[in-house]
Structures are given as C-alpha cells and as structure tokens.
Homo-oligomer: A and B are copies of this chain.
Amino acid sequence: MSKCEQCIIRKFSSLRALNKEELIKISGCKVSRVVKKGDILFEEGDHLKGVFCIREGACKLTKLSPNGKNHIVKFITKGDLLGQRSVISDESVNLSAVAVNDMEVCFIPREEIMTSFKGNPDFSVEVVRDICYDLKNSDDGAVNMAQKNVKQRLADSLLYLHDTFGEDVDGFIKVQLSREEIAGMVGTATESLIRMLSEFSKKGLIEVKGKRIKITSILKIQNVSDGIM
C-alpha cells in the first residue's frame, strides 16, 4: 500500500498543509478502495464517517430536484477531496456522489481530519479556503442558472466539462456523459438538450461523435455563454 506522503493528491488539496507526522498517522489508518462506474459513494442524507481522496477517476455530485430530476451540481476528479463539508460541519450530506468512471479512492476517517483541523491552523485555513472556493463557485453558478437561458447554460456546461476533464488526443472532452446527464447539468429537458447540441454542431461550435464531444471554438462557445450570439 502506498503512503500518503508520496500521493499526488497531497499536492493539490488542502492536505498539502499537513506535516510529516500527520501524514504518517493518516497513512496508517486510511483505507483504499476501488469504485466501479455507476457505483454510489454516498447518498443525500448519509452521514459521512470520513473524507474521500480521489486518486483516480471522477464522480458526479447530484441532487434530486423536487421535480424528480437528477441535477448534477459538479464533478469531483483526480486529486480532489470529497466530503470535507459534511465531515467538518458534522452534518449529513446534501448531495449524492456517483462514479462516472472507474475510480480509486482513499478513505480518511473523520477523527484524523478533525484532529488536524483543530491542531494545525495551516490545515484549517486551507480547508476553509477550499470550502470558500466552492461557495464562491456555487453562488456564481446559482446566478448563471437564474439569469441565463438554456443555450447559455449549455455553453457554460461544455466549458466546465472541458475545464474539468480536459481533452483526449483527438481534442474531445475526456468524459462520456449521457444526454440525460448533460441535461441534468444544464437544467433542461433531455429533448431540448439534444436539439441544442445538434444546433451547436450545425453551427460548427462543437463536433459530436456519439457520446464524445469536441469544442471546435472555445471563443465562440464563450460568446454564447456571454449572450453574444
């Protein structure tokens, strides 16, 4: 089993603020686990006993809307921590986490996180910084949802996916989502989403091959997002 000290996640998440002793301690009690595509890490209402480190793969954070649709709030990818919010505030999670591809995750028990949080100010500042960043993004997202139309929101979602997952060798976004899932991100009906994807495709903004999507012109998509059409 590999040690936390050498793990890449440490470099990019709030864990970077931990000292050697803390890392060794965590290394000893963490549990590694493989999560298959479609598997559920946790569900709305669950009480988490620790945080997940994503070593490989990605998952979506979803929330069941009152209308019965599954809304994708965001994606958590390699190098991210998952579950910080509810572990530290000691509340049940308000979102479900489902793997969008095969994952490899480590589980760090709540006690370890809290001990470091209370004992290591550098760590607590980093954790809060992470959560504040999420809060800022969430507020921005809410404004976009409220003020933009579906076309603009689709543009936003495509840019977000591109940003989060990057491109493969052919320039396609490195994640495969169903049309229904994308509709769930954008907040629209699946049929409407499909139509809009074809429209974007016809206008040469994107190229679609099955589930794979390539952004042909970031600038043009950016313009759509900003309402310049």
Q: A85-B132, A134-B135, A226-B66 are in contact. Are A73 and B118 (CB under 8 A)?
A: no
With both beta carbons as reference points, the residue of chain B lying nearest to A130 in the complex is identified as B89
The listed residue (B65, B124, B132) touching A148 by CB distance below 8 A is B65
Residues of B within 8 A of A69 (CB): 147
Identify the interface centre among A85, A117, A131, A147: most chain B CB within 10 Å of its CB.
Answer: A147
**B95 pairs with A147, CB closer than 8 A:** no
Shortest distance from the beta carbon of A132 to any chain B beta carbon, whole Å: 4
In the bound complex, CA of A89 to CA of B73 (Å): 22
Residues of B within 8 A of A118 (CB): 121, 124-125
**A128 pairs with B125, CB closer than 8 A:** no
**A148 pairs with B67, CB closer than 8 A:** yes
Kindly identify, within residues 102 to 160 of chain A, every residue whose CB is under 8 Å from any CB belonging to chain B.
117-119, 121, 124-125, 127-129, 131-136, 138-148, 152-153
Report copies per complex: 2
**B66 pairs with A139, CB closer than 8 A:** no
State whether the Cβ of A225 lies closer than 8 Å to any Cβ in chain B: yes
In the bound complex, CA of A187 to CA of B141 (Å): 13
**B63 pairs with A139, CB closer than 8 A:** yes
The listed residue (B67, B86, B125, B145) touching A142 by CB distance below 8 A is B145
The listed residue (B127, B135, B187) touching A145 by CB distance below 8 A is B187
The listed residue (B127, B145, B226) touching A128 by CB distance below 8 A is B127
**B65 pairs with A147, CB closer than 8 A:** yes
Shortest distance from the beta carbon of A83 to any chain B beta carbon, whole Å: 11
Residues of B within 8 A of A134 (CB): 135
Residues of B within 8 A of A121 (CB): 117-119, 124
**B73 pairs with A147, CB closer than 8 A:** no
The listed residue (B135, B140, B186) touching A85 by CB distance below 8 A is B135
Shortest distance from the beta carbon of A189 to any chain B beta carbon, whole Å: 11
In the bound complex, CA of A127 to CA of B71 (Å): 28
Q: A69-B147, A71-B146 are in contact. Are A139 and B95 (CB under 8 A)?
A: yes
Q: List 7 A-B pairs, Cβ < 8 Å.
A: A66-B144, A66-B226, A73-B142, A89-B128, A117-B125, A121-B124, A128-B128
